[in-house]
Every structure is written in structure tokens, then in C-alpha cells.
Amino acid sequence: MQSVRVPRYWKRAVRELSQRDATLARIIDGAAHHRIALRNDPFIALARAMVGQQISVKAAQSIWTRLNACVEIFAPSEILALEVAALRAAGLSERKAAYLLDLARHLDSGTIDPTRWKAMDDQEVIADLIRVKGIGRWTAEIFLIFHLQRPDVLPVDDLGIQRAISLHYNRGRPLSEARMRKIGQAWAPWRSVASWYLWRSLDAVAIPAK
């Protein structure tokens, strides 16, 4: 089961963001009944992010459901026991199937050790994760927000974040990465929380619950 608990810093972050940014305050007020869905299991969190790369939320959910039907427990050893054909039949592209297997190998062998991440800062975790095929900065940043509960991540490569910032802060016109980061400076040290509410403002769930 996926946790729906709220990070301990959430209420403080919401209060401070609402006080300093009127636009964000309006967005937060409009999404008051929503709750962030966190993921306790690192393999599930990373696998879901991989599945969701460059496809719609609906398509990602459909593939995820079929993948879970292939195994008794969604764990690295179980995925490694599957044939590539089974992963492809669940809807993964050949490349994503290879990525998922590489992730499973890293975690199963211990070459990627989740117990080390608590002592690392955000950039160190990102550097550790991108050693896995198919994990880029976007996937790592999503993982920082939804699994490690890091409070100050702004994933400017995310299309939803780009759209939301341009919509709410530039009348729908595209913004450069530098400009988005400058706007986001006002949200530190709670940029993860601001990001989540920006996603919600588009009425889309960036990382759907299982």
C-alpha cells in the first residue's frame, strides 16, 4: 500500500508559501482537499517514475497495473525473474524494459544502496541515481520529492511545472529555465511543496498512487 501521510514540514511550508506569494496562495486554496501521495518503497518509486517518462498519466497507470499483475510482489528479484517479453507485453517499450531491469539489478546487487541516501544531500542522491540507465535528473528529482520527502526541489525539466509556471506567472507564454528558477527562488526552502501545488493547479496527478 502507498502512504498518504503528509511530510512533517508540509503545514509550515503551506503557511509560508501562502504568505509570500499571492498567486501560489490562490492555487493552494483551490487544492486544499488534495493530499500528496508518498512512496515508501524506493524500487516502486523509481520504477513508477521510469514507467511515466514521456507518456500520459493514463497510459502510465495502465502499464503499471499490467506490470503488477506479472509479479506476486513488485520487488527487484521478482522483476529480474521475468522475461523481457513479459515486460514488453505489459506495455513497456524495449528501452524502458531494459531500464527497469537495470534498476532492478542495481538494487538487487546492492550497487545502489537506498540506506545511504538519508545522509546525502540532494545533489549527491541525484549523482548516485543517474548511474542507473534510464534515470536522468527529472526522474531523480521526482524521487527526491515523492520518496525521500526532500522539501526544496524544483524540477524545471518537468513539462507540467513548465506549463504551470508559464500559465500562472507569464500569461501562458513560455519561460526559460533561468527565469523559472528565478521565480522559484521566492519559494525556497519549500520548492517541492510549491511544485506539487503547481501540478495540482493543472488538475493532473504527476505521480499517481498505486
Q: Is 150 left (phi over 0), alpha (psi -120 to 50) or beta?
A: beta
Quick: pLDDT tens for 102-137: 999 999 999 999 999 999 999 999 999 999 999 999
Domain end (from 146, 173, 193)? 146
**What's the whole-model pTM score?**
0.83
* Sequence-ordered strand ranges (E) for the chain: none
Q: Is residue 208 included in any domain, yes or no?
A: no
Task: Say what the pLDDT of residue 4 is.
Answer: 53
Q: Alpha-carbon distance 204 to 196, whole Å?
A: 10
Cell of 61: 497507470
Q: Could you please report the per-residue DSSP string of 67-123?
A: HHHT-SS-SHHHHHTS-HHHHHHTT--HHHHHHHHHHHHHHHHTSS-GGGGGGS-HH
How many Å is the Cα radius of gyration of the chain?
Answer: 17
Both 114 and 73 in one domain: the answer is: yes
Q: Is residue 3 included in any domain, yes or no?
A: no
Count of beta carbons in the 10 Å neighbourhood of residue 119: 8
CATH number at residue 194: 1.10.1670.40
Task: Give the total number of structural domains in the chain.
Answer: 2
Q: Is residue 210 included in any domain, yes or no?
A: no
Both 77 and 139 in one domain: the answer is: yes
Domain range enclosing 168: 10-36+153-201
Run means of pLDDT, 10 residues per run, the chain, 210 residues:
70 96 95 80 91 84 95 96 96 96 96 94 96 92 93 94 96 96 97 95 52
Both 139 and 54 in one domain: the answer is: yes
If you search the block for the grid coordinates 509556471, which residue do you land on?
Answer: 165
Domain end (from 111, 129, 146)? 146
Both 127 and 68 in one domain: the answer is: yes
